[in-house]
Amino acid sequence: MDKVKTVAIINALMAAVFYAINVPISKLLLKEAGPTTMAALLYLGAGIGIALLSAFNKNDRNKSERLSRRDLPFVIGMIVLDIAAPIFLMFGISYGSSANASLLGNFEIVATTVIALFIFKEAVSRRLWAAIALITLSSVLLSFEGKGSFQFSLGSLFVLAATVCWGFENNCTRNISSKNTYEIVVLKGIFSGLGALFIAILKREAIPGIIYIAAALMLGFVAYGLSIFFYVRAQNILGAAKTSAYYAIAPFVGAFLSFLFLSEQLSEMYIIALIVMILGSVLVVADTLIRHHAHQHEHSFSHTHDGVTHSHTVMHSHEHDHYVTDEKHGHRHSLSELERLPGALHLQ
């Protein structure tokens, strides 16, 4: 596996770890702030924090292409969906149980993959589908709280709507992930935060004290800002489906941090779910390794000139990101020709 993909995997895992920090600390801060207000402060902390980080990293910031008018539909979609998803989730929780919402929330991984495959034409191998199935199962096991945990209702429909919104949002972000990461995170943080804050005002949620606001903003910078930053950079290389699969380790890291800092017990189900998660993660890594390798091709062609037939042989190499299904076998090319005769044809 090349260095670029190794860095991308590390970025995806770091995104998950940073987001996992959100779990134990938010539990403490939610005692003083409403859920929508908390979401607003976290998003705003992300936008403000990354904007300040950008000011001190001008060289890194200028390496990437800035967002353009052509990216506007994806930017607007990303922001609107990030505002809509929490609203649906809040309705889902109000009409149903938090355990039920937690279980159904795991559908986001599947939604992201299905949308990436059918709408944005992202290649998804059978191995990656198996990995996503195992990861989703492990997440369900982790959040399962007994027979009463799953009860399909109106609340369930709202939670599923939230996961579909996040699935589309992940894919919107994927389509602009090659652009300036700082711009993406700042826009996402500031505008999604303001949207959530407007909703919190409409709900008349109480505003916490200045110390809690500062703590929530700082948490937002780390758990949302840095997490989204690394997530976007991973998406640019790995794609939406695979990054989502790596990111799914977040609940396990969060549960472990809750065990360390909040003295919450790790159940037997946690160990079982962790084993299933590891199996799924191994498949994702295997899919990353197998799908990336180089080929060297030899092309021969002939032509007639002045009544004499001439033959030419051309050698070139290029890298393939392979995807294989029962129906088709295709390539995405990153061409790097070693040798090419003048006037030669490049045949694929």
pLDDT of 85 reads 85
Please report the pLDDT score of residue 182 as a whole number.
93
**Mean of the pLDDT values across residues 227-252?**
85
Domain final residue, candidates 269, 290, 311: 290
Q: Write down the pLDDT at residue 329.
A: 38
Kindly state whether residues 55 and 180 are assigned to the same domain: yes
Indicate if 283 and 303 belong to the same structural domain: no
CA–CA dist 286, 3 (Å, integer): 16
pLDDT at 103: 59
Same domain, 141 and 184: yes
Quick one: 326 and 270 in the same domain? no
The mean pLDDT value for 138-159 works out to 67
What is the overall mean pLDDT for the chain? 76
Domain range spanning residue 302? 297-336
% of the chain with per-residue pLDDT over 70: 72
Residues 102 and 194 in one domain: yes
99, 143 Cβ separation under 8 angstroms? yes
What is the distance between the alpha carbons of residues 276 and 141, in angstroms, rounded to a whole number? 9
CA 240 to CA 347: how far, in whole Å? 31
Task: For residues 64 and 147, state if they share a domain.
Answer: yes
pLDDT of residue 47: 95
Helix (H, G, I), strand (E, B) or coil at 233: helix
pLDDT of 339 > 70? The answer is no
Examine the domain organization and report whether 55 and 114 are in the same domain: yes
Nearest to 115 by CA among 164, 51, 180, 46: 164
Rounded to whole angstroms, how far apart are CA atoms 162 and 156?
10
pLDDT of residue 217: 96
Q: Is 300 helix (H, G, I), strand (E, B) or coil?
A: strand
Token readout for 25 is 């600390």
What's residue 318's pLDDT?
Answer: 46
User: Tokens at residue 86, please?
Assistant: 């929490």
Question: What is the tally of structural domains in the chain?
Answer: 2
Q: Examine the domain organization and report whether 188 and 264 are in the same domain.
A: yes
